[in-house]
Amino acid sequence: MDVSYLLDGLNDKQRQAVSAEEKDMLVLAGAGSGKTRVLVHRIAWLIQVMNHSPLSIMAVTFTNKAAAEMRGRVEQLMGRDVRQMWIGTFHGLAHRLLRAHYKDAGLPQGFQILDSDDQLRLVKRTIRALNIDEKQWPAKQAQWYINGKKDEGLRAHHIDAYDVAEQTHKSIYQAYQESCDRSGLVDFAELLLRAHEVLRDNKYVREHYQRRFRHLLVDEFQDTNSIQYAWVQLLAGKDNRVTIVGDDDQSIYGWRGAQVENLQHFLRDFPQAETVRLEQNYRSTSTILNAANEVIANNSDRLGKDLWTDGSAGEPIRVYAAFNEQDEARYVVGRIQEWLDQGNALQDVAILYRSNAQSRVLEETLLYAGLAYRIYGGLRFFDRQEIKDALAYLRIIASRIDDAAFERVVNTPSRGIGDRTLGLVREAARDMNLTLWEAARFLITENRLTGRAKKALQGFMELINQLEDECTDLPLAKQTDIAIRRSGLMAMYQSEKSEKAETRVENLGELVSATESFMPTGEEDMPPLAEFLAHAALEAGDEQADEHQDAVQLMTLHSAKGLEFPLVFMTGVEEGLFPSQQSMGESGRLEEERRLCYVGMTRAMQRLVITYAESRRLYGQEQFHSKSRFIGEMPTDALEEVRMQTRVTQPTDSRSRFHSGASHETFEQTGFQLGQRVLHATFGEGTVLNYEGSGPQSRIQINFDDQGSKWLVVAYAKLTPLR
DNA sequence: GGCCCTCCAGTTTTT
DNA sequence: CTGGAGGGCC
C-alpha cells in the first residue's frame, strides 16, 4: 500500500514523530508547529503502516472541540469511518468506561453527571444540612476544595485534617460525597477519580483495557493533573506505548490543578521515551516569533525549545500607550478600520484581554463604530436556566434518585411546594438516609404533611410517574416535547411577557430540535435519553451566537489558546493587570503569566498590536499602572511605539477628567501637554496624566514608570520633556 | 412569589 | 463602579 501521503508535506521533525518506531514518545510542540497534524498522521500511520486496529488506539484531549477536530481529521485523512475508535476527552472516555463498568464502579446504571453549577448547589445544600455557617465557609471554596482533592486522587477518608479549615472542608466533602452516592450523581472530577479507581482496583477491568489499547496518545499534556497522569500510567501498563504532545511554555492552567511537571515526570516514568521537538513555526512572522521567544526566555526550568520560521519578518509589533481605557479602545477600533480599509476581513481580527471585565469598554466602542463582534465564553446552550430545567425533568423521569434534579424542578413551575414542605422532605431524607424522592413518598404515606402540601407534592410525583409511563417508549424528541409541556415549564415561560422569556421559549423549542437531530451511538448499551443527557452534561454546547458571522473575536488570553488570527490585539498589557496583581508575588505564578503572554503573542499571524493604558477605571477607581514588564522583555527593534496619536487639546465631553478652572493654553504655558513623556531627576521617566491650576504654580500629575503616579508642582519639579 | 434593598467581592475555564 | 446573592417585606 502506498502510504507516502502520510508523510507528504511534513518537515523532518514531523516525519520523525509520525513514522517513529513503536515506542514512547514526547513530542514537544511549539506554538504553531503543526502538532495536531502530527498527531493525526501518527494515528493514521499506526493503523495503515503498523497494521494496528483502530480499536487498539486511544487518543485523549481536553476539550470536545479538540476531540472533534482530531476525529474529523483522522477520518478525512484515512477516508474511513473511525467511530469505534476511542478518541475523546478525559472526561468523555472516563464516562464511557464507567458506563461499561458501572457495577465495578459501585454506581447505579442510570447514574447522572453533575455539572459545576449543580455541584455548587449541592455543596451549598450540604453545608446547610450540616449546620455550618455559609458566610464563614463559602460553598464556592468548599467546591474548590473538593475538586482539588479529587484531582489529586484523594477521598475524604484519605485526608488528615490538622486545622479547623481542613476539618470543616473535609466533613463537607464527606457529606457531599455521601449525598452524590445516594443520588447516583457523579461530578466532573469524580468521573476521573472513579474511573481511575476502577482501573486501579479491578484487575480484570485493568487488564482488559491494557490488552486493548496498545497505543495511547495524549494531547496538551502540560494541562494534565495528577489523576489524569495516573490514568495514563495505569492504561499504559508495561506493554503499551504512550505518545504525549505538549508544550511547557503554553502551560497556563496551573491554577486549576494542571501540573506542568507531568512532562518531566513522563520522562522519568517512561525512561525509554524519545523526545522530538517541533520547532518550526508556520504561523507568525519572524518579528512576532522572535519577540515571543525573547519574552519566554525569561522563564526558568524550561524544557527548552527554539521556535523559528522561514517566513518573512513582516511589520514591527505596534505598542500603543493609551491615555485611558477609552483611548485604548478607540485606538484598537481605529486600527481595525484601517485593517478593513486594506481589504481584510473582520473575522480575522481578535482582541485579547486578561480579564473579562475589560471587554465592556471595547464592546461599547465597537458598537459605537458599528463593527460586529463576538465574545467567546458566554453562556452556553446547555447551561441556560430553561434548558437545565427541562433536562432536570428528563433526568428525574429517568432516575428518581437524582436529588439534584428533584430540587431543581419540584417547584418549577411553582406548584405550591414551598420552603416549609421542602424543609420537611430534606430533613426526613437526612434523618433516614433516603433520597428526596423516597423521603417525599415516606412523608406522604405516613401522613406527615398538611393537606395542601401533601396534595402538591403528590401531584408532582404523579406527574413524574405518568411522564415516565407515557414517554419511555417514545422517540427522544417526543419525550422531551411532552416533558416540557406537561410539566408546565413551557407554559410558565410563555405566560411571562418579557423578551427574556420569549428567548427561553425559543430555546426550549430548540432543545426539542436538538434531541431530534441527536444521533445516539448506542455505545455501552445506553438508551438514547441517557446518552443525550450525558452529551448535554459533557458538552455544554456552543454559544448560540452566529459563529459564521463576519465579526471581530473578543476573548480572554486563556480562551485564545489553540487559535490563530491574522491580526491580534493584546490589550491592557499593564503591571497589575497583566501580569495580574495577584500573581506578582510568586515567581511561579508570574512565570505562568509570562507563558500567557507568550500564548497571546503567538496567536498572531501577520500583525500584532499591544496596548496599555496609563490610567484605567477599575472597581470604580482611577488606577495608574505602568506598562507591563513583558513589553520591556521584547526586543526594542521589533517594536514600534505609538504614543497619543490624537493630541488632547479640548475636553471631549462633560464627563471630562480635566480640571475645569484652567484652560489648556495656560497649561501649555508650562511647556507640557497631556500624554507627554517627561524625565524627573529622582522618579525617572513618566507620562503626564493630568494637571490643575495654571502657570508655574500649577500642579501636574505624572505616572512614573517605576514609582506610579504622583502630583508635582511644575515650578519645583525640574522636569525634562522627552521627545 | 416577586420586588427591592444592602452588602460584598472583584483573574483566568473546561469538563 | 458593577453584578450577584441573600434577606426582608408586601
The secondary element (H helix, E strand) that includes residue A432 is helix A419-432
Alpha helices in A518-586 (DSSP H): 528-538
Q: What average pLDDT score do residues A89-113 get? A: 96
- Contact between A700 and A666 under an 8 Å Cβ cutoff? The reply is no
In-domain check, residue A657: no
d(CA A468, CA A398): 7
pLDDT at residue A652, as a whole number = 39
Q: Which residue has the cell 513623556?
A: A677
Are residues A368 and A516 located together in one domain of the fold?
A: no
In the set A13, A15, A35, A125, the catalytic residue is: A35
- Percent of chain A whose pLDDT exceeds 90: 76
Is any atom of nucleic acid chain B found less than 7 Å from the CB of residue A162?
no
The model's confidence at residue A73, banded by pLDDT at 50, 70 and 90, is very high
Is any atom of nucleic acid chain B found less than 7 Å from the CB of residue A539?
yes
In-domain check, residue A308: no
Nucleotide with C1' nearest the A113 CA:
B15
Parallel/antiparallel/unpaired status of strands A639-643 and A317-322:
parallel
Q: Report the CATH number that the domain containing residue A271 is assigned in CATH.
A: 3.40.50.300
The per-residue pLDDT for range A617-676, each reduced to its tens digit, is 998 889 999 999 999 999 999 999 987 654 444 333 333 333 333 333 335 456 666 677
Is any atom of nucleic acid chain B found less than 7 Å from the CB of residue A588?
no
SS3 label, residue A35: helix
- Contact between A44 and A38 under an 8 Å Cβ cutoff? The reply is no
d(CA A510, CA A533): 15
d(CA A195, CA A282): 38
SS3 label, residue A625: coil
d(CA A440, CA A247): 53
Asked if residue A716 has pLDDT above 90, the reply is no
- Contact between A90 and A193 under an 8 Å Cβ cutoff? The reply is no
Asked if residue A264 has pLDDT above 60, the reply is yes
A666-670 contacts: CB < 8 A, separation 24 or more? Answer: A666/A694, A666/A695, A666/A698, A667/A691, A667/A694, A667/A698, A669/A694, A669/A695, A670/A695, A670/A696, A670/A698, A670/A700, A670/A714
- A641 assigned to active site: no
**Which residues of A line the annotated binding site?**
29-36
Domain range enclosing A702? 668-721
In-domain check, residue A505: yes
The per-residue pLDDT for range A152-186, each reduced to its tens digit, is 999 999 999 999 999 999 999 999 999 999 999 99
Are residues A16 and A65 located together in one domain of the fold?
A: yes
Residues with Cβ within 8 Å of A354's Cβ and at least 6 positions away in sequence, in order, are: A556, A557, A572, A577, A578, A580, A596
Are residues A393 and A376 located together in one domain of the fold?
A: no
Nucleotide with C1' nearest the A559 CA:
B13
d(CA A126, CA A120): 10
Residues with Cβ within 8 Å of A663's Cβ and at least 6 positions away in sequence, in order, are: A694
Most confident residue range from A65-74, A519-528, A672-681: A65-74
Instruction: For the full predicted model, state whether its pTM sits above 0.85.
Output: yes
Are residues A116 and A9 located together in one domain of the fold?
A: no
Range of lowest pLDDT (A96-105, A589-598, A637-646): A637-646
pLDDT at residue A665, as a whole number = 34
Q: Which residue has the cell 499506526?
A: A46
Is any atom of nucleic acid chain B found less than 7 Å from the CB of residue A694?
no
Which of A85, A61, A6 shows the shortest CA–CA distance to A38? Answer: A6
Are residues A369 and A223 located together in one domain of the fold?
A: no
More confident: A526 or A327: A327
Beta bridge partners of A58: A86, A216
Copy the grid coordinates of residue A317.
509589533
pLDDT at residue A106, as a whole number = 97
Is any atom of nucleic acid chain B found less than 7 Å from the CB of residue A556?
yes
pLDDT at residue A217, as a whole number = 98
d(CA A41, CA A19): 9
A567-589 burial: b if 16+ Cβ within 10 Å, else e? bbbbbbbbbbbbbeeebeeeeeb
- Contact between A100 and A200 under an 8 Å Cβ cutoff? The reply is no
In the set A118, A151, A220, A481, the catalytic residue is: A220
The per-residue pLDDT for range A31-59, each reduced to its tens digit, is 999 999 999 999 999 999 999 999 999 99
| Amino acid (1-letter code) at residue A711 | W
Using the structure, give the distance in angstroms from the CA atom of A658 to the C1' atom of C9, rounded to a whole number: 45
* Structural domains in chain A (count): 5
The secondary element (H helix, E strand) that includes residue A373 is strand A373-375
SS3 label, residue A97: helix
| Amino acid (1-letter code) at residue A59 | A
The per-residue pLDDT for range A529-573, each reduced to its tens digit, is 999 999 999 988 776 555 668 999 999 999 999 999 999 999 999
- A35 assigned to active site: yes
Q: Report the CATH number that the domain containing residue A413 is assigned in CATH.
A: 1.10.486.10
Parallel/antiparallel/unpaired status of strands A684-692 and A699-704:
antiparallel
Phi, psi dihedral angles at A641 (to 5 degrees): -80, 125
- What does the DSSP 8-state code read for residue A388? H
The per-residue pLDDT for range A344-362, each reduced to its tens digit, is 999 999 999 999 999 999 9
In-domain check, residue A529: yes
Q: Report the CATH number that the domain containing residue A686 is assigned in CATH.
A: 2.30.30
In-domain check, residue A22: yes
pLDDT at residue A39, as a whole number = 96
The per-residue pLDDT for range A364-384, each reduced to its tens digit, is 999 999 999 999 988 889 999
The secondary element (H helix, E strand) that includes residue A116 is helix A116-129
pLDDT at residue A650, as a whole number = 37
pLDDT at residue A661, as a whole number = 33
Q: What average pLDDT score do residues A327-352 get? A: 97
Asked if residue A104 has pLDDT above 80, the reply is yes
In the set A71, A194, A395, A603, the catalytic residue is: A603
Task: Write the DSSP assignment of A282-339 as a string of letters.
Answer: SSS-HHHHHHHHHHHTT-SS------B--S---SPEEEEEESSHHHHHHHHHHHHHHH
Are residues A474 and A605 located together in one domain of the fold?
A: no
Are residues A426 and A374 located together in one domain of the fold?
A: no
- Contact between A89 and A60 under an 8 Å Cβ cutoff? The reply is yes
pLDDT at residue A663, as a whole number = 34
CA distances (Å), origin A538, targets A95, A104, A111, A226, A490? 9, 22, 14, 21, 25
- Contact between A243 and A283 under an 8 Å Cβ cutoff? The reply is no
Using the structure, give the distance in angstroms from the CA atom of A124 to the C1' atom of B6, rounded to a whole number: 22
Are residues A534 and A425 located together in one domain of the fold?
A: yes
pLDDT at residue A715, as a whole number = 67
How many helices (H) does chain A have, and how many strands (E)?
27, 22
pLDDT at residue A718, as a whole number = 73
Parallel/antiparallel/unpaired status of strands A552-556 and A349-353:
parallel
The per-residue pLDDT for range A492-541, each reduced to its tens digit, is 988 887 778 888 999 999 999 999 999 888 887 889 999 999 999 998 87
d(CA A417, CA A427): 15
Are residues A523 and A395 located together in one domain of the fold?
A: yes
Query: What number of residues does chain A have?
Result: 723
The residue from A487, A511, A539 where one domain ends is: A539
In the set A190, A219, A249, A327, the catalytic residue is: A219
In-domain check, residue A40: yes
In-domain check, residue A476: yes
Exposure of A500 in the CB half-sphere (CA atoms within 13 A): 5
Copy the grid coordinates of residue A501.
422569556
Q: Whole-number mean pLDDT of chain A?
A: 90
Q: Which residue has the cell 465597537?
A: A366
d(CA A138, CA A132): 10
Exposure of A583 in the CB half-sphere (CA atoms within 13 A): 20
d(CA A372, CA A367): 7
Copy the grid coordinates of residue A309.
520560521
Are residues A584 and A514 located together in one domain of the fold?
A: no
Asked if residue A101 has pLDDT above 70, the reply is yes
Parallel/antiparallel/unpaired status of strands A25-29 and A241-246:
parallel
Using the structure, give the distance in angstroms from the CA atom of A448 to the C1' atom of B15, rounded to a whole number: 41
pLDDT at residue A645, as a whole number = 52
Parallel/antiparallel/unpaired status of strands A621-624 and A684-692:
unpaired
Are residues A74 and A126 located together in one domain of the fold?
A: no
- Contact between A113 and A538 under an 8 Å Cβ cutoff? The reply is yes
Are residues A71 and A176 located together in one domain of the fold?
A: no
Parallel/antiparallel/unpaired status of strands A615-618 and A621-624:
antiparallel
The residue from A161, A183, A205 where one domain ends is: A183
Phi, psi dihedral angles at A90 (to 5 degrees): -50, -45
In-domain check, residue A297: no
Range of lowest pLDDT (A80-89, A242-251, A641-650): A641-650
Copy the grid coordinates of residue A441.
413518598
Phi, psi dihedral angles at A514 (to 5 degrees): -60, -40
pLDDT at residue A695, as a whole number = 53
**Which residues of A line the annotated binding site for ATP?**
29-36
Asked if residue A687 has pLDDT above 80, the reply is no
Nucleotide with C1' nearest the A66 CA:
B14
d(CA A31, CA A284): 9
Range of lowest pLDDT (A128-142, A152-166, A263-277, A637-651): A637-651
The residue from A539, A574, A601 where one domain ends is: A539
